Amino acid sequence: MRHTLPLAPQFYVTAPQPCPYLDGRMERKLFTALQGENSEKLNNSLSQQGFRRSQNVLYRPSCADCSACLSARIDVAAFKPTKSQRRTVKRNTDLARRATSPWATEDQYDLFRTYLDSRHADGGMADMDVFEFAAMIEETPIRSRVIEYTKTDGSKDLIGVSLTDVLQDGLSMVYSFYAPDMPRRSLGTHMILDHIEIAREADLPYVYLGYWVPGSQKMGYKAKFSGLEVYLGGRWQKMTDPRNFHPDTHPLSTDPIAEQVANISLPDTRPTA
């Protein structure tokens, strides 16, 4: 099904499929292609409206009777680490960070496969081969970086990777993976904390984390970061007590697709004089 605005990108809706976050639910996504000379402007604009990037596609959940998925970002200025998060930083002071161009390597893929086999063996990426992995990393029409975390003990082992987009107003952690056999390091948390520092150093106000889903255990960690905001009701709102959010279903949970598309604010792509 196609929905179009005059002189604007075309938006499509995926067919319903089982939700990866909440049992018994069906998910559906609203999406558009990310291509052409205005890719940067479109990505910046739609990211501020709850969309996420996957290769050359921007998407946002648009389920028929469920609105549980909420785009989440951290307000860097409002963030204050907890005692547990400060301990995580101390436990990882022996790691080195390296930011590179979005280019896939064998070491990255080996770590990616180890991570998937341990954490998401039945997920949608479980069958991703090396060529699909390379496409995920390299097919980006915008400003992206691969941020690697390695040991500094002489082995220089790669133990964490984040594919990160540099937006006008922040960093977007598109996809992260890490060594699953080092639970004491809390590498997932460490990479988010480090991205907060990178954003602060670059004077960028936000770190975009993807979707937070109340009721989903695998997404619960995002609510542990102070300064969290969620995109709800067409605007970003400060996260209140996570227990106030419920993954309830209702036939009026989401607006009709045509209304959703009509309410999307698109960037001005007219050439400047």
Among 96, 41, 46, residue whose Cα is nearest residue 268? 41
Are 130 and 15 in a shared domain?
no
Enclosing domain of residue 38: 2-69+247-262
Are 47 and 146 in a shared domain?
no
Are 42 and 156 in a shared domain?
no
**What is the C-alpha separation between 113 and 120, in angstroms, rounded?**
10
Report if residue 50 sits inside a domain: yes
Are 53 and 158 in a shared domain?
no
Q: What is the mean pLDDT of the chain?
A: 90
Whole-model pTM: value is 0.91
Report if residue 271 sits inside a domain: no
Q: Are 216 and 66 in contact (CB under 8 A)?
A: no
pLDDT of residue 128: 87
Residue 239, phi then psi, degrees to nearest 5: -70, 125
**What is the C-alpha separation between 90 and 115, in angstroms, rounded?**
23
Q: What percent of the chain has pLDDT over 70?
A: 93
Are 80 and 27 in a shared domain?
no
Are 182 and 63 in a shared domain?
no
Whole-number Cα distances in Å, 206 to 37, 83, 102, 169? 25, 22, 21, 6
pLDDT of residue 253: 72
In what helix (H) or strand (E) does residue 160 lie, and over which residues does it extend?
A: strand 158-166
Report if residue 201 sits inside a domain: yes
Are 102 and 159 in a shared domain?
yes
Are 100 and 165 in a shared domain?
yes
Among 204, 188, 249, 201, residue whose Cα is nearest residue 73? 204
Q: What is the CATH number of the domain that holds 169?
A: 3.40.630.30
In what helix (H) or strand (E) does residue 53 lie, and over which residues does it extend?
A: strand 52-54
* Structure token pair of residue 113: 């496969």
| Number of domains the chain contains | 2
Are 40 and 77 in a shared domain?
no
**What is the C-alpha separation between 187 and 159, in angstroms, rounded?**
8
Are 155 and 120 in a shared domain?
yes
Exposed / middle / buried, residue 60 (Cβ in 10 Å: 0-12, 13-18, 19+): buried
Whole-number Cα distances in Å, 179 to 59, 72, 84? 28, 24, 20
**What is the C-alpha separation between 229 and 64, in angstroms, rounded?**
24
Are 130 and 150 in a shared domain?
yes
36-40, 104-108, 142-146, 182-186: range with lowest mean pLDDT: 36-40
Report if residue 169 sits inside a domain: yes
Report if residue 121 sits inside a domain: yes
Report if residue 192 sits inside a domain: yes
Where on the phi/psi map is residue 128: left (φ > 0), alpha (ψ -120 to 50), or beta? beta
Are 162 and 236 in a shared domain?
yes
The model's pLDDT over 184-233, given as tens digits with 9 standing for 90+, comes to 999 999 999 999 999 999 999 999 999 999 888 888 899 999 999 999 88
* Structure token pair of residue 260: 């959703």
Report if residue 269 sits inside a domain: no
